[in-house]
């Protein structure tokens, strides 16, 4: 695409200006890291960030062969420039145009909320596969291009990365994309260039308040999915058991269908009752608006997963899939990595690796295990650094009240001291007034080995906070580490088998 053509296309997304610098180069793709500029077809986006400003690297990008710049102010570099406000969002629009508007070639489903996005995405993808459709997925755990999966870097990547992956999905024959929409991604305009026909909202609980300041700002960021990124004829689902979900249902009446585990008397909602729930899964009785009813079986467990399943049922219904397809997709959905991911050992100890890193997530995880396990519940958790420090004592107090044994450890300390973070969590344990047994073991590998060795037959161990993550972040470097690997190694070192 000629730079002048791209410039014309961007006019409908803002008021850009063009500094041609005497030529009209061909542009094939966009990069926002000057180190990735390696050929003359690159449009380099100068993105202002928290710690660095891409405008400072424009000269480097030009020297490496960038054909043109996308920037927020005119620069001295001797290459053509498109000057446009809000480069972070503009690069999503630009990439969408460069890749042929791939979101227009896919039926796009966006999922937002604090908890449940990943599980719902896996369930919906499983239903799509059960229908025979090829589907891609973008979220916290993996990016699926319709053929292959790769580990995810961010829940919602930067705009050019989103558009590149959407284009690959379309090229691979996918007809659907299921995407998790994070509050950061929505607030920063990373989804610019995307249009969704379907959206789901799960819940909102205190999280990321170091970025959003308060719950109202957090909610308004999530709300952007419904106000800024939907097609004209969009539909969606919202959790009527959540205060913020009810706000969305009121605001977008006629667009959103409500779902509830508690309000079974509402004939206009989708509702579900738990008919059976144990360590191996559950059965739900689903009621649809208008009086229809049927049963679904899932290998997932926990009332929070019942809500995730119900959200998926609503969205699948809106896509007009029949009940047999929905049933098959739900029953075929595998364990979601790091979401109450179960390891049952031959000594009678059951281990769950879970991403619970908020008070709401922790309460739901422990509450689920308390209803399924006859023995003691051991919990290991450590708060992440540079993230919502007010939640640390809250989760510490909650663990002390609900668990039988607590080990405080390290998560991703980032720029903070692991010992200081642990003391914040310990303050909540002490504040609880509980006599719960607890220890602080900062080395996460040692902590996992210790807590698993402390458990006996019939006990459950919840290793929470990191879920499927594959490293621990210390300052500016990362150390490879996965909770699931540590659990498996503990079993091998003790001569134990993992049971089906």
pLDDT band at residue 138 using 50, 70 and 90 as cut-offs: very high
Question: DSSP per residue over 397-420, as a string?
Answer: HHHHHH-SEEEE--S--BTS-HHH
CATH code: domain of residue 204: 3.40.1190.10
Pick the closest to residue 484 from 315, 335, 347 (CA basis): 335
- Provide, rounded to the nearest whole percent, the portion of the chain with pLDDT above 70: 100
Q: Output the domain CATH number for residue 430.
A: 3.90.190.20
Domain boundary residue, one of 98, 117, 141: 98
- CA quadruple 146, 151, 156, 157: dihedral sign: negative
**Shared-domain flag, residues 206 and 310:** yes
- β-sheet bridge partners, residue 235: 198
Is the domain of 283 the same as that of 199? yes
Overall average pLDDT of the 195-220 stretch? 91
Domain final position from 56, 75, 98: 98
- Looking at residue 2, what DSSP letter applies? B
pLDDT tens-place string over residues 418-448: 999 999 999 999 999 999 999 999 999 999 9
Number of compact structural domains in the chain: 3
Residue 92 has pLDDT above 70, yes or no: yes
Q: Give the gyration radius of the chain's Cα atoms.
A: 24
H-only helix segments in 49-148: 58-63, 87-98, 117-130
- In the structure encoding, which two tokens stand for residue 420, read together? 């200081």
- 290 and 399: one domain? no
The pLDDT score that the predictor gives to residue 334 is 87
Are residue 121 and residue 23 in the same domain, yes or no? no
Q: Is 180 helix (H, G, I), strand (E, B) or coil?
A: strand
Same-domain pairing of 90 and 234: no
Q: Residue 360: what pLDDT?
A: 87
Query: Helix 444-454 to helix 483-493 angle, to the nearest 10 degrees?
Result: 50
Residue 461: its pLDDT value, please? 98
- Residue 428 near residue 400 (C-beta atoms within 8 A): yes
Could you give the CA distance from residue 306 to residue 310 in angstroms, rounded to a whole number? Answer: 6
What is the tens place of the pLDDT at every residue in 157-174?
Answer: 999 999 999 999 999 999
From CA 400, how far away is CA 438, in angstroms rounded?
Answer: 8
What is the rounded distance in angstroms from the CA atom of residue 264 to the CA atom of residue 240? 11
Per residue in 180-205, pLDDT (tens digit) is 999 999 999 999 999 999 999 999 98
Residue at a domain's end among 46, 73, 98: 98
- Residues 292, 381 within the same domain: no
Taking a C-beta distance cutoff of 8 angstroms, is the pair 114, 360 a contact? yes
Verify that 81 and 112 share a domain, yes or no: no
Together in a domain, 193 and 306: yes
- The segment with the largest mean pLDDT, out of 209-218, 354-363, 481-490, is 481-490
Strands 341-345 and 293-298, bridge-based pairing: unpaired
* Residue 168 CA: distances (Å) to CA of 40, 130, 253, 269, 429: 22, 22, 35, 37, 48
pLDDT of residue 211: 77
Q: Which helix (H) or strand (E) holds 342?
A: strand 341-345
Average pLDDT value for the chain: 95
pLDDT of residue 456: 97
- Specify whether 93 is located in the same domain as 109: no
Residue 120 and residue 84 share a domain: no
The pLDDT value given to residue 113? 96
Question: What is the pLDDT confidence band of residue 264, given thresholds at 50, 70 and 90?
Answer: low
Does residue 301 contact residue 368 with C-beta atoms inside 8 Å? yes
Share of the chain above pLDDT 90, in %: 90
Spatial CA neighbour of 141 closest among 127, 131, 163, 156: 156
Distance (Å, whole) CA 439 – CA 144: 40
Model pLDDT, residue 312: 98
Residue-wise pLDDT for 458-469, tens only, equals 999 999 999 999
Extract the tokens encoding 213: 């300041």
Q: What angle do CA 311, 121, 361 make, to 5 degrees?
A: 75
3-state secondary structure of 460: strand
CATH (domain of 54): 3.40.1390.10
pLDDT tops 70 at residue 374: yes
What pLDDT was estimated at residue 233? 96
Do residues 112 and 164 both lie within one domain?
Answer: yes
Interval 21-62: pLDDT, tens = 889 999 999 999 999 998 889 999 999 987 899 999 999 999
Beta-bridged to residue 439, according to DSSP, are: 407
Same domain, 258 and 283: yes
The answer to whether the beta carbons of residues 425 and 340 sit under 8 Å apart is: no
Q: pLDDT of 316-370, one tens digit each?
A: 999 999 999 999 999 999 889 999 999 999 999 999 999 998 898 899 999 999 9
**Strands 149-151 and 281-287, how do they pair?**
unpaired
pLDDT of residue 158: 94
Count CB-CB contacts under 10 A for residue 39.
12
Residue 388 banded pLDDT, cuts 50, 70, 90: confident
Query: Domain range for residue 196?
Result: 102-332
Helices (H), 267-375: 303-318, 323-332, 359-372
Q: Is 323 exposed, middle or buried (0-12, 13-18, 19+ CB in 10 A)?
A: middle
């Amino acid at each position: 695409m000629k730079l002048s053509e791209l410039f014309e296309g961007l006019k409908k997304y803002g008021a850009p200006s063009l500094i041609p610098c005497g030529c009209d180069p061909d542009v094939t793709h966009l990069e926002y890291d000057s180190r990735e500029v390696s050929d003359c077809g690159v449009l380099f986006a100068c993105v202002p960030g928290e710690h660095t400003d891409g405008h400072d690297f424009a000269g480097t990008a030009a020297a490496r062969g960038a054909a043109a710049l996308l920037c927020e102010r005119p620069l001295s570099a001797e290459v053509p420039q498109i000057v446009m406000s809000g480069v972070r969002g503009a690069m999503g629009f630009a990439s969408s145009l460069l890749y042929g508007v791939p979101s227009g070639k896919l039926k796009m489903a966006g999922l937002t909320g604090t908890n449940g996005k990943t599980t719902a995405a896996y369930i919906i993808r499983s239903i799509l596969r059960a229908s025979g459709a090829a589907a891609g997925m973008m979220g916290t755990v993996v990016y699926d291009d319709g053929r292959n999966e790769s580990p995810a870097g961010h829940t919602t990547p930067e705009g050019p990365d989103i558009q590149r992956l959407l284009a690959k999905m379309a090229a691979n024959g996918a007809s659907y994309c299921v995407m998790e929409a994070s509050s950061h991604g929505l607030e920063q305009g990373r989804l610019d260039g995307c249009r969704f026909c379907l959206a789901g909202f799960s819940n909102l609980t205190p999280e990321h308040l170091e970025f959003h300041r308060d719950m109202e700002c957090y909610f308004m960021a999530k709300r952007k999915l419904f106000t800024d990124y939907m097609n004209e004829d969009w539909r969606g689902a919202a959790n009527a058991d959540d205060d913020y979900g009810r706000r969305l249902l009121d605001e977008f009446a006629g667009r959103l269908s409500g779902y509830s585990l508690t309000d079974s008397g509402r004939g206009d909602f989708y509702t579900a009752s738990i008919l059976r729930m144990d360590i191996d899964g559950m059965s739900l009785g689903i009621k649809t608006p208008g009086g229809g009813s049927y049963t679904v079986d899932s290998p997932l467990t926990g009332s929070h997963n019942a809500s995730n399943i119900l959200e998926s049922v609503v969205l699948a219904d809106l896509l007009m899939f029949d009940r047999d397809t929905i049933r098959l997709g739900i029953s075929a959905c595998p364990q979601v990595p790091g979401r109450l991911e179960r390891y049952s050992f031959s000594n009678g100890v059951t281990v769950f690796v879970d991403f619970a890193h908020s008070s709401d997530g922790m309460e739901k995880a422990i509450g689920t295990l308390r209803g399924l396990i006859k023995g003691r519940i051991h919990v290991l958790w450590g708060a992440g650094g540079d993230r919502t420090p007010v939640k640390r004592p809250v989760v510490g107090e909650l663990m002390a009240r609900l668990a039988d044994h607590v080990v405080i450890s390290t998560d991703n300390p980032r720029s903070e001291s692991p010992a200081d973070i642990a003391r914040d969590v310990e303050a909540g344990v002490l504040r609880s007034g509980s006599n719960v047994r607890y220890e602080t073991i900062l080395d996460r590998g040692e902590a996992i080995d210790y807590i698993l060795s402390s458990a006996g037959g019939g006990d459950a161990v919840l290793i929470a906070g990191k879920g499927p993550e594959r490293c621990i972040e210390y300052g500016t470097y990362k150390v490879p580490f996965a909770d699931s690997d540590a659990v498996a190694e503990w079993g091998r070192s003790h001569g134990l088998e993992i049971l089906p």
